[in-house]
Amino acid sequence: MIDIVRTVDELRGRVGDWRAQGFRVGLVPTMGALHAGHLSLAERSMQLTDRTVATLFINPKQFGEGEDLESYPRDEASDGEKLRAAGVHLLFAPSVEEMYPDGFMTGVIVGGLGDVLEGTYRPGFFDGVATVVSKLLNQAAADRAFFGEKDYQQLLVIRHMARDLDIPTVIEGVATVRETDGLALSSRNVYLSAEERSAASVLYKTISEVALKVRAGADILNLESWGRDQVLAAGFASVDYLSVRDAFSLEPFTDVSGPGRVLTAAKLGRARLIDNVPV
Amino acid sequence: MIDIVRTVDELRGRVGDWRAQGFRVGLVPTMGALHAGHLSLAERSMQLTDRTVATLFINPKQFGEGEDLESYPRDEASDGEKLRAAGVHLLFAPSVEEMYPDGFMTGVIVGGLGDVLEGTYRPGFFDGVATVVSKLLNQAAADRAFFGEKDYQQLLVIRHMARDLDIPTVIEGVATVRETDGLALSSRNVYLSAEERSAASVLYKTISEVALKVRAGADILNLESWGRDQVLAAGFASVDYLSVRDAFSLEPFTDVSGPGRVLTAAKLGRARLIDNVPV
């Protein structure tokens, strides 16, 4: 069994003991339903620090009306076993009451980066993410915290929030882990039927081809439109966005000499899949 | 000369050195224009900790349209000398660019407590306060931070923000320092003409009498109305609010067995004065 603590006080006690021994501490925030993507975050943390805490908290503030808060996959025992096997030292799994006690009334908002793309389609999502992550960072006081590039906009929002609020933890991005056909690992892939699962890899193939063609100098608006058509033709019900953006500001990609990013979100059956690749 | 640092890195270096020596650290955030009220915060910090950092930063985010950001009194040399004479160990006086570098886009909002009273009359004020204070707390990583009860609602907002975001610094409230006639010390008292200064003490006298009468069981709505009339009769141009509230939630004071607070804000000449007393 992995060691589990459920209160902020216990977490601080454990991290404080490690600090007193001179250990560097890594934090891996998750909502559970762990897959190899999460475990790659933990592996990176174990490379760069001496002690790794994973957190398991399904944050109600980052689910909107009609989203999948109730049905989000939950299996703490299995998650704990995966983390233990990976060598993670501690699991912090607080209750909703521990994180948001009665009278909780503070929010952290990231304007600009949080308002576009996912922010347009999931109002309040990044406010919920920024709020819970600022709490987790302050609770754990880790040296480094690890987030997947799969949620690329989220990574940028968190990095900016931590910088703006002077939270001293270094935010580390970790490359997306993919199935052999290219589909990005996601806890929500379990929502896909067999047929949908086989169509799903078109998302990654399409944005990869868009990235290649942007590098080759093709017209971006035409490419975005072509990409959306490809995804719809594969059986996706809708494409929220498929867009080439500046890799730091997420503004439209006009300075093609700088780094860009192709980002997409699209609906397939019960699932809403997101993915992104560098340009 | 007091030691002055102007960057977060320097501040962290100095606080880190103190920590390494086992010193407890106190933080006294100010906007300068220091008076005996600020110095009482510093004194309290020096009683409860081993090393005290004062900060001097006129935070543009907590000034609204048409407020006195440009004319707010500034005299760093005099402030530094007062702090040195009081025994403060370090002054952190960052530039606006150091606190809000290009691309800054994060805000901290405290709903509920931040929406009433001052929040109604100064939209965005508490967002600006919560944002800058969360930064200062994260920058200094002090054991305790000291705020005056003169800004009572601000103290509650900051205490709640720090609790909600799990910032480990203890928030300490320090009693209001008053002139001999009862007027609360404020950097904005310099805006008063001699005649206005002599009328100003009516504010404190009135809320003190309201608090006495609430304790004696008088009707609260009548008392609030009586109090506003007293203040206007003394020559104040307007009363934004004069209100008896629950001392923790700032909701209307209905449970008279619990602690209450009489809070007021009123305009006199160029100044807008605020004050409060316990019930």
Whether residues A106 and B141 touch (CB distance < 8 A) is answered with no
Domain ranges of chain B: 4-174, 187-274
Q: Which of B27, B98, B106 to mutate against chain A (most A CBs within 10 Å)?
A: B106
List residues bridging with A25 in a β-sheet.
A51
Q: What is the pLDDT of residues B155-190, one digit of tens each?
A: 999 999 999 999 999 999 999 999 999 999 999 999
Tens of pLDDT, residues B193-242: 999 999 999 999 999 999 999 999 999 999 999 999 999 999 999 999 99
Please tell me the pTM assigned to this model.
0.95
| The two three-digit tokens of residue B178, written as one number | 């008053």
CA–CA distance, A263 with A258 (Å, rounded to integer):
16
Sheet architecture: strand order including B238-246: B238-246, B260-268, B271-278
pLDDT at B22: 96
**CB of B61 within 8 Å of any CB in chain A?**
no
Which member of A8, A107, A130 has the closest CB to residue B166?
Answer: A8
CA distance A99 to chain B (A): 8
CATH of the domain spanning B187-274: 3.30.1300.10
Closest partner CB to B104 (pick from A8, A105, A164):
A164
Per DSSP, B104 falls in state: -
Answer whether B130 sits within 8 Å of A161, measured CB to CB.
no
> pLDDT tens digits, residue range B49-106?
999 999 999 999 999 988 899 999 999 999 999 999 999 999 999 999 999 999 999 9
Q: What's the CATH code, domain A187-278?
A: 3.30.1300.10
**Separation CA A245–CA A63 (nearest Å):** 25
Determine which helix (DSSP H) or strand (DSSP E) holds B4, and give its type and residue range.
Answer: strand B4-5
pLDDT of residue B256: 79
From chain B, the residues in CB contact with A168 under 8 A are: 12, 138, 141
Interface check for B16 against chain A (CB to CB < 8 A): the answer is no
Per-residue model confidence (pLDDT) at position A256? 79
Q: A-chain residues within 8 Å CB-CB of B108?
A: 106-109, 165
**B140 and chain A in contact, CB less than 8 A:** no
CATH of A4-174, one of 3.40.50.620, 3.40.50.920, 1.10.4080.10, 3.40.190.10: 3.40.50.620
Give phi and psi for B242, each to the nearest 5. Answer: -145, 105
**Number of CB pairs, chain A paired with chain B, less than 8 A apart:** 77
The pLDDT of residue A257 is 84
Torsion angle of the four alpha carbons B86, B88, B91, B92, in this order, in degrees rounded to the nearest 10:
-130
Phi first, then psi: give them for residue B262, nearest 5 degrees: -95, 125
Question: pLDDT value at position A132?
Answer: 98
Question: CA B47: distance to chain centroid?
Answer: 20
Residues A153, A155, A157, A160, Cα dihedral to 10°: -140
pLDDT confidence band for B145 (50 / 70 / 90): very high
Closest chain A residue to the Cα of B7, Cα to Cα: A166
CA–CA min distance A271, chain B (Å): 30
Check B165 against A141: CB less than 8 A apart.
no
Task: Measure CB to CB from residue B111 to each of A105, A114, A141 and give the nearest one.
Answer: A105
> Which residues of chain A are modeled with pLDDT < 70?
none
